[in-house]
Every structure is written in structure tokens, then in C-alpha cells.
């Protein structure tokens, strides 16, 4: 039989040959590297039997799909190890996640760090057994009885949801088997480079009303070098954790009395204000008008907008005088209320309304994470009311604005995806065609490479998402622009068209940073608290050597404060070396030292963040240097 390969060539194999046989026919090196195959577009195991005319692509561990298969197989390896060590444990589900995998277990006691060490050692032992991993097809009812006989009630419950009469696939390695769609590596020996990371609590099916389980996280990679590099990135991320740096640098704190809500300290609030004022200035330059809308709004508005039905569980609510209210989880319905206060002409469009809108969402407590996931956050939110013909130009303008802002904050690597129409959507096909074409054309006109997320658009319109890659290679989704055909009509937004008719505007939802809190968290980790001069909460500290220079230090500090810089003086009765070290640890960009000579000559000795003496400057020259650095976003 003939098998077709991706390069257009073909191979002739004996009837009954497998994907592994194909790899071996091409070469022994490829046979050793192959862990799965794609046959006629479907991922399968290497033991999959081929048929004449099949189109086959061999999957190696170096590919993204191969790595995902390794991680999926590692989760099975871990589950087998757990049950060999702790026979009373039950397995539930174990998917692949970004950079690794996890498996949820039901067990009578909590797993300890010592247990993780034992489990990892057992995994390596099982891998050395070189057990073949084979797929088995079972009748659904037979599979239920099999797992019930093993005491695996969770697996039995999962299979019971499959319609009667259907078959299910199990994967067996040695005497251990698990329900799984696959594919998996051909042999446990192919899982070599892994590490278990931590244990966390979880609920069956993610529902807090269900039984509590234990989730063991792990990571797996195709090579020892990749695993080592990943663990190094984790170490760096740990050092850069914005929550730790916030404590060390006195930026903000969170506490149980206000879960998911931030207490900003003076230095942290200084960073906040710098970010907000920067965005405010950019918005003004690009034709946005800033507004402010209420925090608490009657339930009826949220019902009309559709949020009450779709978002009710995530909304904080209150009631008074027989009226129900919600603390706003987003700003868009309120912005339409501002638009509706006047009957606009087509000549008024596009109308761009911006707000630093404080939003509240009742996120589950287990998902809260520093500044990255909060219940109260502020969006650099704006809505553009425009005609369908204006969508492309507005998107182009927003792309320019977004790149401009990211560059100012030191991010050059931007990843963009366009998400198009989902199956469940509002609006006409003609509207979607025009909106999607406008987004595609806007990106192409800017010569921007972008990926596609088919069917991942919002129900009300397509969107573009902007993600930033930080210094550790982590990707953070920040900016977005979304086309909305639905909400303006629901809330009676209209404008007078050129022909005198009343029409509903298109609304573009857009944000550059997303949440200011989250973006500041990203900045803290990106810079490891060593903010660029223009953004640093304290831009310089002026230190004396003895009390004889105290008045001179105060004079310099006052001059710099008058120039609009964030400067402090340190007149403590401490050695200057101690002061320099203290302010270096506090990540102050520049430390200015004045002794008798500097006082007499009207100069300052300047040290940078590394404690290196970069020279002696006249006070005027150094102030000019500070102005230049601020202007250059240095």
C-alpha cells in the first residue's frame, strides 16, 4: 500500500504496517525520534495501523505537538506512580496545561513535599521499566464495571456520561490503565525530563460545592536542557514576583478584610499615577474625551444590556428602597448612557469616550493572585462610536496608539491574534464580513504579522488581542479592540445618518493596558522593581556626608522638586556607604552625594542603580540630564 507524506512523496509499505513502521522505513533515526503521527489530519499513536492512501505526518518530540504528548503521557506516569505508592488514592482528570500538566487525586490525607519526592522517584523507576503504552477500545458499560471494580468511582462517573452503546478508549502501561482519548508516547522510557512542582487544592469538576481533591502539578520537556532552562526561568520569576517586591519596596499590600482589592502605599501610588497620567496624555493626543460614570447602577440597565443574565454571578449587588443595584463589572453600558444624552449626527462620529473605570467582579477567592487577578481593578477603558465604514480607520489608529504606549513602557515584542465569528453570534453575516475584513485590512496595512483564533470572537463581534512578551519569555494578554454590533442597539443608541434616517452606531470596545493593576504587576516583574527613571516612584535621593552639607542637600532637593521630579533627601546620621547601599536596595535610579567639595563647587557626585559613580555634575547640568531622561522615557 502507498502512504502519502507531507512533502508530496510516497512510501510503499506492507498491509497492516503502523506509523512506527513508516518511520523505520524512512530511517532508524526518525524511528527513534517519532512519538506519534497525524493520519489524515488526526493525531494517533505510533501503533496506529495505516491504510492505503493515508496522508501521514510523523510527530517527533521536538515539535509543539510532540511536547504536548510527552506532557500528557507524563501525567499518566505520575498517576500510576501515585497509585503504586498510595493504593487507596483515586484518579480523576489529568490534562496538559501551559508548560506542564496536572492530575487531580482523591486521597484520605494531604500530600506532603516528601510525598512529591517519592512520587517523582517512582515515576523515574516506572519510566526505566520501558513499559509499552497501548490503546484499548472498550465497551462503555464494560469500562464502567472495570473502574468500579477498582474502586475508581470518579472514572466510572465520567464514563457514565458517555451514551450507552458507545466505545471508550483506555491507555494501558503495564498493569495500570486510565481512561483517555490519547495519543500517548509509545513507551514510558520516552518520558525522561520532568519534575513535580507543587500540590494545590481543587474541586471535582471545578465546582466549590463538590468534593475537594488534591492537584499535583508537574512539568515535562523534550530535553534536559529545556527542563533546566524552564526551571531557571521559574527561579527568575520567583525573584521578580511582584508581591515579594511590593513588600520589599513598600508599594502596596492586600489583606483578608478586602480580598482581591489593593491598598496602595505612597510609592506604589506614585507608579500608578505615572502610568495613568501617561495614558491620559496619549488618549488626549488621539482625540479621546475623558468621562466618569457611576459605580453603582440600577439592575434594569444591566438587564437591558444583557449582563444580568450572562454575568450575574460575577456581579456584586446591593439593594435599597426596593431597588436592586449592581456595582459595575464593566463600563460599556454606562458609556452608552453618556452617548445617548444627545442626538448625534454622522458628522459627530467617530466619538471616542475614555474612562479610567473602576470595576468590581466577584472572582472566586482561589483564583485571586496579587495584582494579576483582583476583584476590584481599573481599566484604561474607552469606547468608540462609529459607522461601519469607519471601523478600519479607527482600528488602524488604535494599533498605532497601542504600539506607541507599549514602546514607552519598554515592550517591543508584541504578539497579535485576530478572533473571528463564533457559531453563536448576533448581527448579520454582512456586518461580520465587513467588520472582519476591516480588522484584517487594518493589520495588513500596518504590515503586522498576526495569528488567527477561528471562532473565538465575542458573540457581538470580532476582536484583536495584543499580548506582550516579557524578559523571561512569558506572554501577557493586555490590549484589545472589539467590534460590537449588539449593545448599542439594546440600549437605544442612535445617530442621524447623512440621508436623515436614524441608525445604530457600531461600538468599538478598546483598552491598551487592560487592567492598570495587572499592567503595573507586569511592569514590576519585567523590571524587577528597577523602574526606568521616568517611572520610578523615587527618581533620585540626595545624601550628605556630614551635617555641614545638610542645607546644601535641602537646597538641591527643593530645586529638583520644583522642576517636577520625585526626589528625596537623606540627612540621616549614617555613613554615606550605608546610605548608598540602602537606596540601591530600594531601586532608586540615582543617588546624589554632596560633601564639602561638592557644596563649595555647586556640584553633586552621582551614582547609578548599581552603585557605580558615573561622575560629578553641576546641579544645573544634572537637572538638564534628568529632564532629558524623562523626555526619552529612559
**What CATH number should be reported for the domain holding residue 557?**
3.40.50.800
Annotated active-site residue in 434, 463, 587, 607: 463
For residue 426, the model assigns a pLDDT of 81
User: How far apart (Å, rounded) are the C-alpha atoms in residues 331 and 450?
Assistant: 28
Of 332, 359, 478, 543, the catalytic one is 332
Does 237 reside within a domain? no
What is d(CA 366, CA 469) in angstroms, rounded to the nearest whole number? 26
Q: Which uninterrupted H or E stretch holds 309?
A: helix 307-311
Q: With 90 as the cut, is the pLDDT of residue 634 above it?
A: no
Task: Specify whether 509 is catalytic.
Answer: yes
User: Computed from CA positions of residues 231, 232, 235, 241, in that sequence, does the dihedral angle turn out positive or negative?
Assistant: negative
pLDDT at 196 over 90: yes
Alpha helices in 510-562 (DSSP H): 516-527, 550-562
- Same domain? 441 vs 491: yes
Weakest mean pLDDT among 16-20, 426-430, 512-516: 426-430
Model confidence at 460: pLDDT above 90:
no
239 is catalytic: no
| Contact indicator for 39, 54 with CB cutoff of 8 Å | yes
Q: What is the CATH number of the domain that holds 13?
A: 3.10.20.30
pLDDT value at 393 more than 90: yes
* Whether residues 154 and 122 fall in one domain: yes
Predicted local distance difference test score (pLDDT) of residue 504: 96
Q: Confidence class of residue 165 from pLDDT cuts 50, 70 and 90?
A: confident
Q: According to the model, what pLDDT value does residue 384 have?
A: 98
* Residue from 21, 104, 115, 381 carrying the catalytic annotation: 381
| CA–CA gap between residue 420 and residue 465 (Å, rounded) | 11
pLDDT for the residue numbered 142: 94
Please pick, among 193, 195, 361, 587, the residue that the annotation labels catalytic.
Answer: 361
Q: Domain for residue 290, yes or no?
A: yes
**Rg, Å, the chain Cα set:** 30
- Closest by Cα among 607, 574, 582 to 593: 607
The cell 493520519 sits on which residue? 39
Confidence (pLDDT) at 627: 96
Categorise residue 304: left if φ over 0, alpha if ψ from -120 to 50, beta otherwise: alpha
pLDDT tens digits, 280-314? 999 999 999 999 999 999 999 999 998 998 889 99
Asked if pLDDT for residue 126 goes beyond 90, the answer is yes
H-helix or E-strand containing 147?
A: helix 140-149
Q: Are residues 256 and 384 in the same domain?
A: yes
Q: Is residue 394 part of a domain?
A: yes
Q: Mean pLDDT lowest for which of 66-70, 326-330, 364-368?
A: 364-368
Q: Binning pLDDT at 50, 70 and 90, where does residue 119 land?
A: very high
Question: What nine digits make up the cell of 69?
Answer: 504528548
509: number of Cβ within 10 Å: 23
Q: Is the pLDDT of residue 205 over 90?
A: no
476 with 613, same domain: the answer is: no
**Number of domains within the chain:** 4
Work out the burial of residue 564: count CB atoms within 10 Å of its CB; fewer than 13 is exposed, 13-18 middle, 19 or more buried.
exposed
> 72: how many CB neighbours lie within 10 A of its CB?
22
Return the CATH number at 183. 3.30.980.10
3 state SS for 370-438: CCCECCEEEEEEEEEEECHHHHHHHHHHHHHHHHHHHHHCCCCCEEEEEECCCCCCCCCHHHHHHHHHH
As a whole number of angstroms, the distance between CA 39 and CA 19 comes to: 9
Closest CA to 508 of 409, 399, 423, 417: 399
- Which strand (E) or helix (H) includes residue 10? strand 10-12
- Full domain range(s) for residue 439: 252-527
Annotated active-site residue 190? The verdict is no
Please give the backbone phi and psi of residue 377, each rounded to the nearest 5 degrees, phi first.
-150, 160
* pLDDT computed for residue 140 by the predictor: 93
Both 507 and 547 in one domain: the answer is no
Q: Which of 155, 352, 509, 527 is catalytic?
A: 509
pLDDT band at 247 (very low <50, low <70, confident <90, very high): very high
**Domain endpoint, select from 499, 527, 555:** 527
| 217 and 78 co-located in one domain | yes
> Could you say which of 379, 390, 526, 549 is catalytic?
379
Q: What is the phi/psi pair of residue 2, to 5°?
A: -100, 135
What would the mean pLDDT of 205-220 be, rounded to a whole number? 91
Q: Is 83 a catalytic residue?
A: no
Residues 415 and 523 in one domain: yes
209-213, 344-348, 371-375, 623-627, range with the lowest pLDDT: 209-213
Phi-psi label, residue 270: left if phi above 0, alpha if psi -120 to 50, beta otherwise: alpha
pLDDT in tens, 177-192: 999 988 999 999 999 9
Separation of alpha carbons 506 and 177, rounded Å: 54
| CB atoms inside a 10 Å sphere around CB 193 | 18
Same domain, 299 and 168: no
Query: Do residues 80 and 54 both lie within one domain?
Result: no
Active site residue 440: no
Mean pLDDT of 501-523: 97
Asked if 553 and 571 count as a contact pair (C-beta separation under 8 A), the reply is yes
Averaged pLDDT score across all residues of the chain: 94
Give the pLDDT confidence score for residue 26 in this predicted structure.
Answer: 92
pLDDT, mean of residues 613-618: 95
Q: Catalytic: 286? A: no
361 noted as active-site residue: yes
Query: Quick check: 428 pLDDT over 90?
Result: no
> Same domain, yes or no, for 52 and 70?
no
Give the active site residue among 184, 190, 373, 383: 383
Residues 52 and 84 both lie in one domain? no
Secondary structure (3-state) at 278? helix
Residue 418 has pLDDT above 90, yes or no: yes
Amino acid at each position: 500500500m502507498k502512504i502519502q507524506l507531507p512533502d508530496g512523496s510516497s512510501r510503499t509499505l506492507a498491509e497492516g504496517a503502523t506509523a512506527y513502521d513508516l518511520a523505520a522505513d524512512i530511517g532508524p533515526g526518525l524511528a527513534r525520534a517519532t512519538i506519534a503521527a497525524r493520519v489524515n489530519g488526526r493525531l494517533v499513536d505510533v501503533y496506529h495501523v495505516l491504510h492505503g492512501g493515508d496522508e501521514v505526518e510523523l510527530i517527533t518530540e521536538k515539535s509543539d505537538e510532540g511536547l504536548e504528548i510527552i506532557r500528557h503521557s507524563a501525567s499518566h506516569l505520575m498517576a500510576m506512580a501515585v497509585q503504586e505508592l498510595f493504593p487507596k488514592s483515586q484518579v480523576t482528570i489529568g490534562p496538559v496545561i501551559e508548560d506542564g500538566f496536572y492530575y487531580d487525586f482523591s486521597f484520605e490525607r494531604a500530600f506532603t513535599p516528601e510525598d512529591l519526592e517519592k512520587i517523582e522517584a517512582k515515576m523515574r523507576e516506572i519510566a526505566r521499566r520501558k513499559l509499552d503504552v497501548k490503546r484499548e477500545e472498550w465497551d462503555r458499560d464494560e469500562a464502567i464495571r472495570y473502574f468500579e471494580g477498582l474502586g475508581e468511582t470518579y472514572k466510572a462517573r465520567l464514563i457514565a456520561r458517555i451514551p450507552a452503546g458507545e466505545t471508550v478508549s483506555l491507555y494501558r502501561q503495564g498493569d495500570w490503565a486510565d481512561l483517555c482519548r490519547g495519543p500517548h508516547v509509545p513507551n514510558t522510557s520516552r518520558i525522561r525530563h520532568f519534575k513535580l512542582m507543587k500540590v494545590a487544592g481543587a474541586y471535582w469538576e471545578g465546582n466549590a460545592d463538590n468534593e475537594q481533591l488534591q492537584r499535583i502539578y508537574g512539568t515535562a520537556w523534550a530535553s534536559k536542557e529545556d527542563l533546566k532552562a524552564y526551571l531557571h526561568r521559574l527561579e527568575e520569576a520567583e525573584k521578580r514576583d511582584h508581591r515579594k517586591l511590593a513588600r520589599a519596596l513598600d508599594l502596596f499590600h492586600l489583606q483578608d478584610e478586602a480580598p482581591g482589592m489593593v491598598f496602595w502605599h505612597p510609592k506604589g501610588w506614585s507608579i500608578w499615577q505615572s502610568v495613568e497620567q501617561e495614558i491620559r496624555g496619549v488618549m488626549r493626543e488621539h482625540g479621546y474625551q475623558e468621562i466618569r460614570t457611576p459605580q453603582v447602577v440600577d439592575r434594569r440597565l444591566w438587564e437591558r444590556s444583557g449582563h444580568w443574565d450572562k454575568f450575574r454571578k460575577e456581579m456584586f449587588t446591593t439593594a435599597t428602597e426596593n431597588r436592586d443595584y449592581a456595582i459595575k463589572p464593566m463600563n460599556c453600558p454606562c458609556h452608552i448612557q453618556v452617548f445617548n444624552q444627545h442626538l448625534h449626527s454622522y458628522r459627530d462620529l467617530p466619538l471616542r469616550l475614555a474612562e479610567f473605570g473602576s470595576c468590581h467582579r466577584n472572582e472566586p477567592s482561589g483564583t485571586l493572585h496579587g495584582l494579576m487577578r483582583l476583584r476590584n481593578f481599573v481599566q484604561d477603558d474607552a469606547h468608540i462610536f462609529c459607522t461601519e465604514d469607519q471601523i478600519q480607520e479607527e482600528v488602524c489608529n488604535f494599533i498605532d496608539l497601542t504600539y506607541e504606549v507599549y514602546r514607552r513602557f519598554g515592550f517591543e515584542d508584541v504578539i497579535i491574534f485576530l478572533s473571528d465569528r463564533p457559531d453563536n453570534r448576533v448581527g448579520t453575516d454582512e456586518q461580520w464580513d465587513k467588520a472582519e475584513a476591516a480588522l484584517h485590512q487594518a493589520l495588513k496595512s500596518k504590515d503586522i504579522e498576526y495569528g488567527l483564533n477561528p471562532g473565538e470572537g465575542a458573540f457581538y463581534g470580532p476582536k484583536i488581542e495584543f499580548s506582550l512578551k516579557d524578559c523571561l519569555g512569558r506572554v501577557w494578554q493586555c490590549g484589545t479592540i472589539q467590534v460590537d454590533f449588539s449593545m448599542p442597539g439594546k440600549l437605544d443608541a442612535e445617530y442621524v445618518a447623512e440621508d436623515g434616517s436614524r441608525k445604530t452606531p457600531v461600538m468599538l470596545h478598546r483598552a491598551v493596558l487592560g487592567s492598570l493593576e495587572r499592567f503595573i504587576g507586569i511592569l514590576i516583574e519585567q523590571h524587577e522593581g528597577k523602574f526606568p527613571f521616568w517611572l520610578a516612584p523615587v527618581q533620585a535621593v540626595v545624601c550628605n556626608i556630614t551635617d555641614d552639607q545638610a542645607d546644601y542637600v535641602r537646597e538641591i532637593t527643593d530645586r529638583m522638586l520644583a522642576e517636577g521630579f520625585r526626589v528625596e533627601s537623606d540627612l540621616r546620621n549614617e555613613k554615606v556607604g550605608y546610605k548608598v547601599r540602602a537606596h540601591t536596595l530600594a531601586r532608586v535610579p540615582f543617588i546624589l552625594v554632596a560633601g564639602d567639595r561638592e557644596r563649595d563647587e555647586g556640584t553633586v557626585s552621582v551614582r547609578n542603580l548599581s552603585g557605580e559613580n558615573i561622575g560629578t555634575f553641576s546641579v544645573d547640568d544634572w537637572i538638564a540630564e534628568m529632564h532629558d531622561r524623562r523626555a526619552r522615557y529612559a
